[in-house]
């Protein structure tokens, strides 16, 4: 079905086995809306440059809270949040121009309280890793990505679905290239590079805080910085994508239940963002090709010829040359 939303052309539907003559990027996320706050401008950039980009949403976000104060009491949303979030995802997909698939698991929710309540039975975070891994292996072998992005071992932040997203992504990347693993899930395919999203770094927040202060405006980030405890991560790759910040923001706004349009995500004027932090940032976690210093392209180091890249991914003779995978913090 063709059409457009907010002036952006809707991409063709993702159906069946996918074979393309373009380099392919798969971005694995926990919930709908995560793709629009982590790497969205990068995805739009690559789509416009002619690459295939697939977003995999592991869950439907069914247990998410309504974070937009204007919509907290909307009867339609309260009646069927799951469908509303699917509709929001379709709109964001059209804006970014990406392909999309649901992995089919159920949102775990974010437990709160002291002590924390148990996670709900049947949720994504409690599924056996073998089950979630097989589901993602099927998608990897169908779409055949050369590059995969996901979250670091701590989930980027400690939401149980983000942590499971990391676990299933890394397990599936390894299993997808092993012909003896899940042989019924399609021919083996080895993604050549895996990155962690590292957009929310202290350095970036500090840069925005200082920029707002220099403009004489109140910064919403002062308290964030005072309470910042997350250790710095090694950023290996900065993708300049400021020309696509408008698409990123439009996609995020499309997830209307999940973002306050007057909130901190939008406090820094776009022209200021372009000046002080025009990139989206990544940490190379696993690669079968060398990672160059100051890398600026997720496809860097891959053969420019897609057939050659495909041959490399199916060669069965690859050796890991970059590996920074670590155990999760206790």
Binding residue numbers for Zn(2+): 31, 34, 162
First to last CA, the chain: 47
Q: How far is CA 90 from CA 83, 96, 176, 189, 200, in A?
A: 11, 10, 27, 28, 25
230 to 154, 157, 161, 233: CA distances (angstroms): 10, 9, 19, 9
Binding residues: 31, 34, 162
154, with CB counted inside 10 A (0-12, 13-18, 19+), is middle
Please give the backbone phi and psi of residue 146, each rounded to the nearest 5 degrees, phi first. Answer: -85, -30
Of 111, 105, 47, 26, nearest in space to 248 by CA: 47
Nearest CA-CA partner of 33 in 83, 88, 74, 82? 88
Give every CB contact of residue 278 below 8 A, 6+ residues apart in sequence: 240, 241, 242
Structure tokens at 78: 């309260």
């Amino acid at each position: 079905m063709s059409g457009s939303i907010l002036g952006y052309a809707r991409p063709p539907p993702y159906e069946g086995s996918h074979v393309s003559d373009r380099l392919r990027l798969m971005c694995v996320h926990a919930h709908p809306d995560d793709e629009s706050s982590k790497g969205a401008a990068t995805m739009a950039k690559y789509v416009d440059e002619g690459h295939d980009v697939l977003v995999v949403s592991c869950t439907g976000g069914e247990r998410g809270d309504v974070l937009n104060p204007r919509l907290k009491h909307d009867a339609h949303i309260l009646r069927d949040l799951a469908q509303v979030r699917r509709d929001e995802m379709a709109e964001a997909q059209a804006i970014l121009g990406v392909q999309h698939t649901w992995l089919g698991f159920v949102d775990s929710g974010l437990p709160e309280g002291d002590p924390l309540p148990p996670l709900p039975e049947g949720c994504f975070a409690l599924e056996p890793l073998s089950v979630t891994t097989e589901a993602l292996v099927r998608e990897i072998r169908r779409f055949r990505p050369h590059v995969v992005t996901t979250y670091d071992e701590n989930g980027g932040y400690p939401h149980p679905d983000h942590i499971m997203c990391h676990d299933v992504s890394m397990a599936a990347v390894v299993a997808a290239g092993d012909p003896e693993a899940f042989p019924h899930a399609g021919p083996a395919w080895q993604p050549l590079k895996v990155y962690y999203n590292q957009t929310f770094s202290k350095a970036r927040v500090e840069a925005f805080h200082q920029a707002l202060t220099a403009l004489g405006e109140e910064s919403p980030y002062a308290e964030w910085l005072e309470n910042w405890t997350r250790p710095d991560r090694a950023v290996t790759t900065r993708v300049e994508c400021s020309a696509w910040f408008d698409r990123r923001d439009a996609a995020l706004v499309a997830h209307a239940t999940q973002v306050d349009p007057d909130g901190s995500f939008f406090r820094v004027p776009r022209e200021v963002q372009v000046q002080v932090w025009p990139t989206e940032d990544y940490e190379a976690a696993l690669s079968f090709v060398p990672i160059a210093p100051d890398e600026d392209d997720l496809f860097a180091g891959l053969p420019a010829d897609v057939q050659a890249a495909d041959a490399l991914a199916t060669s069965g003779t690859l050796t890991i040359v970059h590996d920074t995978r670590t155990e999760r913090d206790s």
